[in-house]
Structure formats: C-alpha cells, structure tokens
A and B are shown apart, each in its own frame.
Chain A
Amino acid sequence: MAAKKKVLEFISSIKGQKRRELLEFESKKLISLWGIPTTRAELAGGVREAVKLAREIKYPVVLKVASPDIIHKSDARGVKVGLSSELEVKHAFEEIMANVRAYKPNANVLGVTVQEYLPPAREVVVGTMQDKSFGPTVMFGLGGVWVEIMKDVSFRLAPLTRDDAFEMIEEVKGYSVLTGVRGKPPADTEALADILQKVGQLAVEVPEIAEMDLNPVFVFDKGKGAVAVDARIILRGG
C-alpha cells in the first residue's frame, strides 16, 4: 500500500533524528498521508515566512508555537486563532514568541505553525494505544469535561468494523451531544466513524506508533465531515 510506504518513510526520517515524539505539524502530516482529514499546518521559522504561508493557506488562519519542549501549547499562551490579516499574523507571531519565552525560557522553539482555521464544531477525542494484553486499541470520547473530568470514554480493539465504530460512539454517556438535542442538527457520525476506522487500521498496520492522540477532532453537522484539529503521535522506543 502506497500510503503505508509513505508513512513508514516519514517515521524513519523522524527516528533518524533520534526522536520519538512527533510535533503537531508532523503528526498531522502523518495522519493526512493515511487519509485522515486534518487541518493543513506548515512550519514557519520567522515572521516573514509566517505571513507568506498565511496568504497561501488563506485567511483566517491559526498560529501555534512549534517546540518539542512545549506539549500544552495553550498553557504557554502559544496559540492565536482567527487571524485575518497580515498585520494580525505579524502581531500574533511576536506575541507568541514573547509568551513562550516567558513560560519556558530555555525551550527550543522552531517557530510557529500556520494552520487553516475552522469554525467551531462539536469536539471529540480519538486516540490509540498499544495494550499489553490486547495490542492496538482505539479510544473515543467527547471533548472537554466529558473526557477530562467524567472519564467518559469507550474502547475497541483495532481494527474496527463499521459496527464497532458506531457502537463505541454510541456507548459514551454523553452520546446525545452528537445526536442533536434542543433543535441542534445531528453531527456527522459517519465521518467520525470513518476516522475511527482509519485510526484503528493505522494502529494495526503501523505498530511503530505507540500512541496517538487526536484532540480535538471537530465533528461538523451531518454531511459536513469531521477533521482532526490537533494531533500528537509518540513512536515506540528502541
């Protein structure tokens, strides 16, 4: 499979740098090679490059700090969203650099990633991990408090059948968030099931991936798709 070859090549290029953790834009590149929808994200080392990329990606854009030393980008105030002009991008770049320097002075900062901006949607979390008894597994949960506070998640062994994917979506307690309550239209669970299945397939076919965390995945209204907005991949050691 062509996709698998590309993914493996990409992984060995990371391993060549003696790294196990992929940066956000690298993780996104990897999953997009596998056909998982995600926002475009490009690395800009300096402010001029950032402006150029913003024009290319088209406004509005998002800027996020790119650093192997900063995992929680929002905590470092390293994320600026909805930037719709050159001036805003320039200001955002400087601001992020200043914030990050204050947050972690010794961090190795590569620059920022310039990313496509998506309108708000219902947020879910999709992940994979290698279980010591059962091998590759897929995790699903609703975003925000559902996962963090209520631990409302479901698991399946990978790979997933279509039924498995829908069952694990329906199994979480907050499922009604996705069916559309109080006049809200239902979310695109078909597109979400696609992502779950693809993620499961990736975990099985590329066991070099120890852990993958797509958080959040935006799920738009029925028929409008689902997109991974942030991604984090950790490779196996050794």
Chain B
Amino acid sequence: MRKPRKPKIARKPRALPKKGDGVKALFEPRGVAIIGASGAKAGTAPVLFRSAVENMSHTYKGKTHIIDLSGKMEGAFRDVKKVRGKAELAVLALPPSLALKNIKKVVDTGVRAIIVCPSYEQGQREELLAAKGNVRILGPNSAMGVINTHTGMCTGLERGMMPKRGGIAIVSQSNSVGAAVLDLANIRGIGVSKFVSLGDRIDVDEAELVNYLSKDKDTRVICIGIGDVRDGRKFVDSLQTATEKKPVVILRAGVAQLEDKVYDAAFKQARAIRVQDVEEMLDVADALAKQPPMMGNKVIIISNARGPAVLAIDAIYREGLTLAKLAEKTAKVISQRCPGTDVSNPIELGVEAKAKQYGLVLKNVLADPNVDGAIVINMLKSRFLDTGDVRAIAEVLNKFKKPVVDVAMGEESYVLVRDVLKDTNVPAYNSPERALRALKALRKYGRVKEKIKPPVVSKAAKKR
C-alpha cells in the first residue's frame, strides 16, 4: 500500500536568530557559508575568499557551503538563497559594493553571525550595521577570522595556520599581531583552543568575546592583544568575571600615553596579568594553561649545572620571589638517596645526573611544605643527560599541586628538550629569566585565587 502523501505545507521562514546567540555561532556554528566572488577584480576580497574556502576544506569537520557570486568556483552555489536555513555562520569575503548589495539576502538566510573579512570604509560600515538586524557581525577587517581547533574551523587569510589543540584562547585586535602569535605558538608546539581577530569591531567587541571564552570549557587561559577598548567598564566587568574562573593575560600597546596608567589600573583591578610582548604572552600563557597556580613565593632550583642556576637566583629576586629553604627531613632524604647532591638551594645534581635523580629529587622537594614551586634546569651539553631523561619531570609533577617550569639554556638543546616536553604539561623555556617570568605569572594567579575581590563597578556606576 502506498503511503498517503503528506499534504504540502509552505515552509515557514526560519525565525530570526535570538539576540545573544551570535557570539557562540562565531565559534561553534552549525553549518558555515562562505560567501565571495572569485571573479571580483578589486582588492583583497577574492584572495580572502579563496583562503577561507581552502582552509575550511582542509581542516573543518563540519558542513561548509560555498557561494561564489561569480559562478566560477567548482561545487559552489551562485545564489545566497541556496543556503537558507543551512548555516548559522556566514564568512563574508565580498568587496564592499557586492557586500552591501547582498547583506540583506545573507541576513535572510537565517545566519546568526557574520564574519566580515575585508576592510570597509566608514560609510560602508554604517550601512552594514543598519542592514544586519539581529545578526552579529565580527569585523569588518577580520582577515585572520576565527579558529576553533576542536572543530578545525579556520576562516582566516593565512594558510596552514591551524595550531594544535590546547588550552590557550587568543583574542587579537590586530590581524598581524594575531598571526604572529599563532606562528610562534605553532613553532613552539603550544596548543590553542580558539583564536579570533577583532578587526574594526563595529558590533561584536572584546568584552563579549571574553565573556564567551570565560565559559568555554576548552579554554584554560585567555590571551588578549589590544590597543584600545570600545567600552572600558564593560571590558573590566567581563575580565572580572573571567578571572574568577581562569587567568587572563593582556598585551596592551600604548605605554607612552598617560591613559595607559588608567588601562594598567583597570587590568590590575580586574586581576588580569599584563605582559610586555608576544613572546612573554605565550611564555606566561603556556605555564598558566599547563600548571597549577603558585600559592606562595618560595622557589626551589634543581639543576645539573652551576652557572644557569646562579642566573636563576637573580631572576627569582628580580621577580620578587624568594629562595625556598628545604626542610631538614627533605634534605636528609635527598642526600641519602642521591649521594653527591648539594642539597641547599640551588640543589646541584652531579654532572652524571639522569632521569632517576631528577625524578627522585623533584618528588621530594615538591612534597616539602617549604617549597611553593620549582624551576628545573637540565643542561644537555657538557653533561651526561639525554634528551629523553627530561620526561621524568613530567611523570613526577602530575602528583603535586605545585608548579614546575623547565629550562634548557641555549637554542639547540632547548629545541630538543621542548620537543620532548611539548605534549606533556611541563612548559619549557630557553632561559631562567623567561622561566621565572612564567613562574611569577603563576604566582600572580595564585594571589587571585587566594583572594577574589568584590567587583569594582558598583550599581551606581552601572546605572548611568
């Protein structure tokens, strides 16, 4: 028997997206539409279009719909209407005139958010804003777009930039600085959860992104690179909420301005950790993502060489930390079980120290209540240590809630050690100074944990 045919009901137009869902749709959309015009002659738009298409086809696990208004790209639709109801996110890589002509159509497909890749002029931006309805816009000029390493989404310009998965989220106002941070993270094997380039910020701003990332379970640390903020109080509020849950690291350009003092104060009151450059940003974020906060100032140095340990002492003082003094019991156990070890601070292991000595000493010092954190130095050259021996560090420290940072001074040795450690939770550095800056950041976040202060913005301030 033939099934009776269902009576045809006219499809209801999809309801407009609810406000507030848009930011999430930027990172976790169900369905992505990439809209461009491959034949457009002017400007960067067609390049951005092709990059987005290529990046998404290589790594994205979800569904991508491509719309080429020029009708040249293989497998692409020609009409925006074709993706009606199929995509929550549109990646718009059209030149300004075409973008403005088609924006209504794009909004009508039912997308919740649009990433606008090329940069538009002031008047064009205003037209875009007027046409967007409830849809949220990232950009324009968000050329580096959005990356979500867990779904392989990458809408940005640079090719082959997909970092490995990890706990660090990166928010960058500048496309280029953002690209540089990704580049560094990739070379050093530092894992990223999400990346977003703010662009010209006509709609979605840094505060909303911080709010989203503070709730994101894949993100353990939020890194922000910014020059100015759109709404200072809103941003501080978002930072305060975020830092109660996870550390926030901020790089802010504009130190020479008097207003930088106000920015600095705002970051302090919001308990964010301010850094000086992208290198320090990643150094610090790597440690914060992998290691527990340090709940005191006392640092122990464990090293198989004297010179680097002495430099570490200086760095400890420079960062306002102190040298730990081992409990008698700990010192006794170590000297009994590792004869030939100098059990003061720095703890000097012999030239021939291997994984066994490192593991044993580290285990004992971390159990000592007089120690809050440790810097482990393993020199390869002129010592008996093998690269693989450093694995012992990772094996020990999982058992303790105290932070450990690793140093292999130099460059070649450092790269060897780093490659062994990059998939563990031990952050590795090529100098004691960098390692101590990271440890200091862990201490700063420890202080935040010790004392979560009430919010800075009173009801009276909010009402206005």
Interface residues on A, range: 20 to 34
* CB closest chain-A residue, reference B265: A155
Q: Which residues from chain A contact B458 at a C-beta distance below 8 Å?
A: 159, 204
Q: Which of B229, B231, B262 is the one whose CB lies under 8 Å from A155?
A: B262
Which of A131, A159, A207 has the most chain B CB atoms closer than 10 A to its own CB? A131
**Cβ-based interface call for B454 (8 A):** yes
Which of A105-113, A160-168, A184-192, A217-225 is found at the contact surface with chain B? A160-168
Which of chain B's residues have a CB closer than 8 A to the CB of A133? Answer: 228-229, 231-232, 259, 262-263
B145-193 with Cβ < 8 A to chain A? none
Chain B contacts with A in 253-267, Cβ cutoff 8 A: 259, 261-266
| Interface membership of A156, Cβ < 8 A | yes
Contacts of A158 in B (CB 8 A): 461
Q: Which of B228, B262, B263, B461 has a CB less than 8 Å from the CB of A204?
A: B461
A204 surroundings in chain B (CB, below 8 A): 458, 460-461
Closest to B464 in A: A207
Q: Give chain A's interface secondary structure class.
A: mixed
Q: Which residues of A contact B261 (CB under 8 A)?
A: 153-155
Complex Cα distance, B269 from A161, in Å, reads 9
Chain B at the A interface: SS class: helix
- Bound complex: CA A131 to CA B456 (Å): 15
Closest CB of chain B to A135's CB: distance in Å?
6
B268 within 8 Å of A (CB atoms): yes
Contacts A133-B231, A135-B232, A204-B460 given; does A157 touch B265 at CB 8 Å: yes
Indicate if the CB atoms of A137 and B262 lie closer than 8 Å: yes
| B233 interface hit (Cβ, 8 Å) | yes
C-alpha spacing A167/B236, complex, angstroms: 18
Q: Are A131 and B259 neighbours in the complex by a CB distance under 8 Å?
A: yes
Q: Which residue of chain A is the closest to B458 with respect to CB atoms?
A: A159
C-beta contact mask, A165-185 vs B, less than 8 Å → 1, else 0? Answer: 001100000000000000000
For A163, the chain B residues whose CB sits under 8 A away are 451, 453
> Are B464 and A131 in touch, CB under 8 angstroms?
no
Residue A148 is within 8 A (CB to CB) of chain B in the complex? no
A153 to B264, CA, bound (A): 12
Given A159-B456, A164-B456, residue A135 in contact with residue B265 (CB < 8 A): no
* CB proximity to A under 8 Å, residues B304-357: none
The CA of A207 and the CA of B458, in the complex, are separated in Å by 14
| Residues of chain B within 8 A of A153, CB atoms compared | 261
Let me know if B460 and A157 touch, CB within 8 A.
no
Q: Are A157 and B453 in contact (CB under 8 A)?
A: no
> Which A residues touch B264, using CB under 8 A?
155
Q: Verify if A205 is at the interface (C-beta below 8 Å from B).
A: yes
Q: A133-B228, A134-B232 in contact; A205/B460 too (CB < 8 A)?
A: yes
The contact string, 1 if C-beta is below 8 Å from chain B, for chain A 24-66, is 0000000000000000000000000000000000000000000
Asked, given contacts A157-B456, A161-B456, A163-B453, whether A137 binds B265 with beta carbons under 8 Å apart, the answer is yes
Contact A156 B232 (CB under 8 A): no
**Does A216 touch B at the CB level, under 8 Å?**
no
Closest-CB distance, A89 to chain B (whole angstroms): 42
Proximity bits, B236-279, A CB within 8 Å = 1, else 0: 10000000000000000000000101111110110000000000
Judging by beta carbons under 8 Å apart, are A161 and B262 in contact?
Answer: no
Complex Cα–Cα for A136 and B461 (A): 9
Q: Which chain A residues border B453 with CB–CB below 8 Å?
A: 161, 163
- Chain B residues with Cβ below 8 Å from A131 are 232, 259, 262
Which residues of B, 443-464, contact A by the 8 Å Cβ criterion?
A: 451, 453-454, 456-458, 460-461, 464
Q: Could you show 22 A-B contacts with beta carbons less than 8 Å apart?
A: A131-B232, A131-B262, A133-B229, A133-B232, A133-B263, A134-B233, A134-B263, A134-B266, A135-B232, A155-B261, A155-B262, A156-B268, A157-B232, A157-B236, A157-B265, A157-B266, A157-B457, A158-B461, A159-B461, A168-B265, A204-B460, A207-B464
A135-B233, A168-B265 known; 12 other A-B pairs, CB under 8 Å? Answer: A131-B259, A133-B228, A133-B229, A134-B236, A154-B261, A154-B265, A155-B264, A156-B265, A157-B232, A157-B262, A161-B453, A163-B451
10 closest A-B pairs by beta carbon, nearest first, are A134-B232, A133-B232, A155-B265, A155-B261, A156-B265, A131-B262, A204-B461, A155-B262, A159-B458, A204-B460
